[in-house]
Every structure is written in structure tokens, then in C-alpha cells.
Amino acid sequence: MAVADNENTPQLAASEVENERLQINHHVTKLAMGGSILLAPFDVTRPNLKILDSGTSDGYWLTEFRKTLARPETCTMIGFDIADERFPDPPPEGIELRVQDVLGPFPDSWRGTFDVVHQRFVLAATATKGREAVLGLCNLVKPGGWIQLVEMQSTVGEDDGPAVRQFVELINELHIKIGAPRNLADVAVLEGHIMAAGFQRVGTMQAPGTLGAKVPDPNTRATAIKSTLDSAASLLGANKGLPGGLQSLSDDEASSFLERLEIELIEYGGSWPISVVWGQRPVK
């Protein structure tokens, strides 16, 4: 979006950059999940489906999932996020975007009405209220409907280099500062949230997420590296700006971090496990 002589131009540009980064992450995550974005055994041939995406940003997941539906014109697709700054205007075809806090309260009209509720890479923002957030989403699923949670684990692979390890430590440092549990993305933790809501047919996958040179699609690698570097720069700034300042890197390490990370991503890549958990609300 090009806007001339507008005081909101920097914010709009930043939103577009963030949406682009999240779209790249979408495709890298899809590769890790075997080419699918919904692993729950859901029948996409049915008409009149109602789908909800939590932490939707620009609605990209909904746009991609809509392509898999046999009768998309009959379906209701709703995405929500904490603010509308990354919502495109107009919204994507067939998608409704709403401002909504994942911790609620949700509209009464949403309760128990959705065939699929999806959330990806959101729980860290809920700090200590991860289970509360998931239980609230579970309440929106209709009997027989499904929920799917996707979260990146804050761990590294055995052969990951020092800069990739520092990248993950920056994430862990930020989680500690905002009060988010270090194990918030563990498969067992996510599974426990869904089972606490009484969901059945719970399935799990630890997807082999990758960074840089290890991304299996060569056409995605360059943009994936840029996405990771953008994330790393944001993490540096966020940790420096919070009380206590940057703790996981020394000043010397921080000054060369992005350069060292770029070299590692190009030459070796990295590993980043992704937890995927899904479950079905019992039919009463």
C-alpha cells in the first residue's frame, strides 16, 4: 500500500513488513507440517462451515484455508487480533476481520458455534494465562468441531551454531521478562490445555521446523532468512528496551549478532521444532 504525505505512513509500512514476515512463516510452517495447515481430520467438503482464526494478523491463514474448502462461498471465515493495525483494507475475499482479545470476553453469539478454531504463535503474548486463553477458545467450538494450536518451541537442534542458539536465548529472555512460561509450547502442555476442556480425539505432532539453509524449499529460503533476521532484530530491540536491559548477550556479542546469524543461516541453517496439537469437542 502506497500512501503519500500521511502521518500514518511509517506505521502502515511497518504493518506491511510484519504481515510479509508472518506470511513467510506461514509457508515455512506449512512445509514442516507436511504441506497441510490443518492436521485435524476435518471434512472440508461440507458447506456452511464456520471457521475462526485467533491472532489472525492480516487473515492470511484464513485466506489459504479457504482455498481448501469445497464450498467456500457458503462458509463464514472470521479472524481476530488484538488490534486492527495489520488488517488490510479492504479485507481478503470472504474474510471478516475483528478486533478481539484472546482472553475475552468473546461475543455470546460465538459460543459453541465454530467448526474449526485455529491459533498459531499466540500463547507467549498471554504470559501466564495460556490455559485460560485456550479454554476460552475451546468454548467457541461447536459439538463435533475441532481446535488446533500451533506453537514454536524455544529449543535448538544439536548441530545448531552459536548465533542460532543466541537467537533462541533472546526468545527465552523475552518470555521470562513478560512472564511467559518457558515450556508454553511443549506438546504435552498444549495437549493438557485441550484435554482440560474435555476434548477428545486429541492428536499431536512435533513438526520439524527449520531455519535458513535447512528450509526444504529452495524458493522459500532467501525470504525465510530475511524473516528470521527481522525477528532477531526485533528481539534485540525488545530485550534492550525492557527493564534490566539485554541479558543473554554481551555488548560485543550483540553488536555482531545479526551479521553472525545471517552467515549461519545462509551456510548451515537451524532447527526449530513446532508443536501442533488438535482435538475435537465431544458431540452431546
Q: Is the link from the previous residue into 90 a cis peptide, with omega within 30 of 0?
A: yes
- Give the residue-averaged pLDDT of 178-183: 89
| Arithmetic mean of pLDDT, 126-142 | 96
Question: pLDDT: is 253 or 1 the higher one?
Answer: 253
Are 270 and 208 in contact by the 8 Å Cβ rule? The answer is no
Reported confidence tier of residue 232, pLDDT bands at 50, 70, 90: very high
pLDDT of 179 higher than 50: yes
Q: What is the pLDDT of residue 9?
A: 43
pLDDT value at 109 more than 90: yes
Q: Say which CATH superfamily domain 18-280 falls into.
A: Vaccinia Virus protein VP39 (3.40.50.150)
What's the CA gap between 143 and 70, in Å, rounded? Answer: 22
- Exposed, middle or buried, 280 (CB in 10 Å: 0-12/13-18/19+)? buried
The C-alpha cell 526449530 sits at 272
> What was the pLDDT predicted at 129?
95
What is the pLDDT at residue 14?
60
Grid cell of 154 as nine digits = 524455544
* Rounded average pLDDT over 153-158: 86
Average pLDDT, the chain: 92
Given a cut of 70, whether residue 83 has pLDDT beyond it is yes
Q: Where are the domains of the chain?
A: 18-280
pLDDT band at 23 (very low <50, low <70, confident <90, very high): confident
Q: What is the mean pLDDT of residues 10-27?
A: 73
Percent with pLDDT over 70 in the chain: 95
In this prediction the pTM is: 0.91
